[in-house]
Every structure is written in C-alpha cells, then in structure tokens.
Amino acid sequence: MNTELSSNTVGTVKPLGRLGALTDLVIERIRVSDHVAESKFGTDSPIEDPSREEQVLEQVRKQAGAVGVNPDAAVVFFRDQIAASKVVQKGLFARWTAHPEEAPTTRPDLGQIREQLDRLTTDLLQELKSTEELRDKLVACTVQLALAAGSGAALEQLDTLHRQALRTATHSVCRPSETSDRS
C-alpha cells in the first residue's frame, strides 16, 4: 500500500465516525480538483466540460448497478461531487487571477487526473454501498456527517474555499428513503 500522502502532512488520522471513510474520499476528490484547476488555468480548457460530466455520470450509473447502489441516488451524489469540483476550480481561478504570483508554475496532465477521478468513482460507490443503511436514517446520518465533515475539515486543514466545496459535496449524503425509520 502507498502510505505517502501527497496532499497533507497529517499522517494516518482520518475523519471520524461511521461516515469517516466516505468523507475522506470526498475530501480527496475535492483536493484532486486543485490539480484539475492547475491543469486548466491559462489554457483553452474550460472549468465546465459537459461532455466529460456526462461520461462521469454514465460510468456512475453503470458501476452503481453492479455494486448494488441505486443508480439515480448515486447520480445525485456525483452531481454534487462535480458541483464541488467546480466550486474549487472557480475559486482558485479567481484567486490566481487576482494574485498571479500565487498561480501554478507547472501544468499537470488532465488526462492522468481524470484517470485518478475515475478510480475515486469506484471507491466512492463502494463507500456509498457500505453506508447505505446509516444514510437512510436521517438523524443518525446527520450526526455522523457533522462529525466526519467537521473532523475531516480540521484534520485536512481545509481553507474556506475547500470547506465550502465539502458542504456542496456532502449535501445529499443523508437521504432517507420513503419507507425508512427516520429516527
């Protein structure tokens, strides 16, 4: 296993609670968005790429079925992940435009970054599956999400922009189904 952490120096401490692993992956995807922004800034590639989004959601739909997650619910969750990525990209573009001295000096390869995002799709779907029962219980899920997001944001030292993205990305994590026990 690769134990090297590219995006933080906190070590192996992870977001807490029963949604900790899911939140960890959500934060990882948000952090990958920094690299997406670096790859696009100063090029003709737009922040928003509808055909790539369709491709991502198509992959989600197919894999969700295979993993046993409701495909429509999975698509809702991934639309939030995509929205969160664009929050980060727009925020960083604005920051780098206002402060060119903070702009990236190297440009990572978008193709490789997208492969990383595709791997995260698989991992996230697996976590959606293993947290399905909890996420159907509104109160328990809300408490666990607050714990995981709060500890994750602190441990990963997320700034205001990335905390905003985390809120966007976790908007639909707790989704009680019609028939579930809401307590």
> Residues 8, 14, 53, 161: which binds ligand ISJ (CB under 6 A)?
53
Burial class (CB in 10 A: 0-12, 13-18, 19+), 64: buried
Alpha-carbon span 128 to 125, nearest angstrom: 5
> Residues 49, 96, 154, 161: which binds ligand ISJ (CB under 6 A)?
49
Residues 74-93 that bind ligand ISJ (CB under 6 A): 81-82, 85-86
Q: Is 123 one of the binding residues for ligand ISJ (CB under 6 A)?
A: no
Q: Is 56 one of the binding residues for ligand ISJ (CB under 6 A)?
A: yes
- Stretch of 45-53, 126-134, 151-159, 163-171 contacting ligand ISJ, by CB under 6 A: 45-53
Q: Quickly list DSSP for 118-138.
A: HHHHHHHHHHHHHTHHHHTSH
Instruction: Measure Cα distances from 38 to 88, 96, 116, 134, 137 in Å.
Output: 11, 10, 15, 36, 39
Binding site residues, ligand ISJ, CB under 6 A: 36, 48-49, 52-53, 56, 81-82, 85-86, 114, 117
